[in-house]
Structure 1
Amino acid sequence: MNLPFSRSSCAQQVKGTTMNSNERGRGRPIGTGYNDAPILEKMADLMVAQPTLKATTAMRRILGQPGPSQIRRLQVKWKEGAAEFLAAAQARRAVTPTPARRISASHSPRTVRQIMEASRRVQEMMHSIRAAQELMNTPGMLAAQEAARLFYDSPAAQAMGAFHDSPAARAMREFQDSPTARAMREMQDSPTMRAAREGAQTVASLQHLISGGGF
């Protein structure tokens, strides 16, 4: 009885099947790649929060000291999906509510009271400022402001300003600050001058009495 294949051909087929199986077994099996999406998302969140941050710098902040192969793998994946990761990070940042600021528990009760008192004073100050603004916008204050503006722009005010800057006005100010003027003021307030003024008033009163005017 003749068989459809010989013993040698069967061995060759088995050997070829084994070789093909070994060739398919080389490399990482399909579906066992690294899931780097969480790291890439964290990188995107850091870069959105700090726009000047580079991708590799963000990667090192997250991983600490990644190996060269890990850096290359993440750089390739970031280059391929950077736009999508950054857009998703922007969306997460837009919908994340800003946490309310709380007073640290490490503060003493006295410090907390001081902070609350300062906050209350700021609120009162804001109320006063708003009230002052409302007062400044009343018809009476607006009319007074307009009158002051017209006065400052008037020829009389301009003449007063010109006189204030004139040589005569400067000479008067210099004389008032001079030693002679100070000496005159001191003499005017001296006991001798006060006694002279009182004597003159007494003489005037006597003259008035003699003339029959009475006190």
Structure 2
Amino acid sequence: MEKKYLIIIAIVVLVVAVVGALFATGFFNNAQTTPFDTEFMSGAFTGNVAQGESNESFMATYHDDANNITYNLTTMDNSSELMELYKFQGVMGPEKRSFNGQEWNIYFGEALPVVNNTTVSNTSKAMGIVICEAHTGHQGYVIYTIFSDLSKVNFTLNTFGDSYVKFIEPLLKSIKLKDTDNIASVSQQFGLSNDEFAQQIELIRQINAGNYSGLEG
């Protein structure tokens, strides 16, 4: 009888160990992932994600049709200045996270879609936006994630909602950044010359410092 109990206990211990290992590896998450590989970064998205069209080596677009999520990936020479501009426009953050030895700055915002150059006023159409930015030496990396249907994903302006927990954090944990020669200038992202963009950044810094003289005239 004692041998029988010992065998049962051993089986239970084995089952518990196997189940624990499966949970640790994400076996029970039932989360499909889609790997991707560009010239400047690689990783994996949560869900079934398809690549969109892109004509530039320094950017790539992907779509998750089931959850109405768009991912825009890009690399540039100075992503920090880009984030200065976004913060001036009201984007919240950053919250800082480190994955695989790489520090990420994570920003949150909301926006209304634009149709035929007109902003849609219906607040039920609001989109959630998460911007993840990292830089390594001379090269910056930015991931824009746009949640177009907030009825499908619990979006929050922080790291507590499903938008971050289910989609953003797993993505950042998978990312491998690459050094490349095809790096866009940050001004190129806005269709400005380097001088024009530098003027915009300087104006923002002056306003943040309380100097509004640049707005006069």
Query: One fold, TM greater than 0.5?
Result: no
Whose strand proportion is higher, 1 or 2? 2
Q: Which has the higher contact order (CA 8 A, sep 6+)?
A: 2
> Looking at CA atoms only, which structure, 1 or 2, has the larger radius of gyration?
1
Structure 2 length normalisation: TM-score? 0.25
Q: Between Structure 1 and Structure 2, which shows a larger proportion of helix residues? A: 1
> Structure 1 length normalisation: TM-score?
0.26
